[in-house]
Amino acid sequence: MCSTADKLVGLSDEELARRSRAGSSSCFEELVRRFQVPLLCFLLRRTARRCDAEDIVQESFVRAYECMGQYRDAWPFRTWLFTIAHRLAISHGRKVHARDEAELTAEPAEDEEGPAERLGREEEKRGLWEAARALLTGEQFSAVWLHYVEELPAREIARVLGRTRMAVKTMLHRARKRLLTQLAMSMVGQMQRGEV
Amino acid sequence: MSTHQDDVNEARLAAALKEEAERGTPAYSELLHARIMQRIGTAGAVGGRRMDRGRGWVWYAAAAAAVIVLGLWAWNSEFWQSGGGGATNPGNRVVAGGSLLPPVGELLGRTVAMAQERLGAELAEGQLAYLDQDAKRLARFVVDQIAVVPSRP
């Protein structure tokens, strides 16, 4: 069905999904290749820990593979995959929340990241997305990511989040407002410290 | 109402978010790819178990319908064999048109008629319930012998 890698590259996501559903594992592998980075990027920002993000990426693809029979052509494959990842991220978030509460009084755990990664993480902490993760709910964060980075239309975001299109538009409006306020406040702070 | 300044701020925010996301994009990992594919390899055939579960209700519904039709048919056959159909010749149970099974509507109609008949028989039997076996036989004989003449108003 999918004989060469070159042939697969030219196919749309939906066509690859259709062929995967028909039993072509090479087509599914191509989908994994295409969506590994976008999913990892989204989940890295969402979960903040690389190992967690990688685990969710892996689980998302496994779920997609197992549920391929339920995939409908009317959905863009990207939307479907992000829906799975978003739901897994929510359940992961709940587990982490419970774990964090349990560890609140315990000794800080040994850091798994190396010095270079830690430096990168510190750099990121000053970033907008880090602020977004701190300020917004998980759902709002996903909506903002899907809108600005994945450039999905409101209709598709609504599908991912299981909300109406109007609810997504309201969610985006509120999230933007909060981010802009935060951005303005941090700029004022920087100006007062004489950094700008 | 959104002002021009709001639009400018929003455009700046959008650009900043996009730029930062691109800056922090992780590199493609062959290791992660291999890990995923290995895990998928152990997960079995594409869409296997979960697809079956997703469409399972269709099979359950079809099986239930088949069981109901077979049950009705068996009950109907038993009824015909026991001579319950009144003037039916048991040798003629294959219905006209060569089909072994009569249409479902006809089957349902017959089943309802059978149930009505049984209910009527039970009610008639109830009227003689106070009699012993011999008295019941006698009473049935007498009732069968009397011609039913519609009463005049």
CATH 1.10.3110.10 fits A125-196, yes or no: no
CA Rg, chain B, in Å?
37
* Residues A138 and A93: beta-carbon distance below 8 Å: yes
Question: Which chain B residue's Cα is nearest to A123?
Answer: B24
Question: Which chain B residue's Cα is nearest to A38?
Answer: B25
Q: Does the pTM of the predicted model rise above 0.90?
A: no
Test the B interface: residue of A39, A67, A173 with most B CBs within 10 Å: A67
CATH 1.10.1740.10 fits A10-102, yes or no: yes
Indicate yes or no: CB of A70 within 8 angstroms of CB of B37. Answer: no
Query: So what's the pLDDT on residue A194?
Result: 67
Give tens-digit pLDDT for A124-168: 455 788 888 888 888 999 999 999 999 999 999 999 999 999 999
Range with the largest mean pLDDT of A109-118, A131-140, B29-38, B50-59: B29-38
The stretches in chain A having pLDDT less than 50 are: 1-2, 108-111, 115-116, 118-124
What is the CB neighbour count within 10 angstroms for residue A126?
9
Write the ipTM. 0.74
Indicate yes or no: CB of A28 within 8 angstroms of CB of B26. Answer: no
More confident residue, A45 or B84: A45
Give tens-digit pLDDT for B109-148: 888 888 888 888 888 777 777 778 888 888 878 777 776 6
Helical H runs in A48-163?
50-66, 77-103, 115-125, 128-135, 138-148, 154-161
Q: Where are the domains of chain A?
A: 10-102, 125-196
B34 CB near a chain A CB, below 8 Å?
no
pLDDT tier, B108 (very low <50, low <70, confident <90, very high otherwise): confident
Question: Which chain A residue's Cα is nearest to B31?
Answer: A54
Indicate yes or no: CB of B36 within 8 angstroms of CB of A57. Answer: yes
* Residues B48 and A159: beta-carbon distance below 8 Å: no
Token pair, residue B43, equals: 């997960």
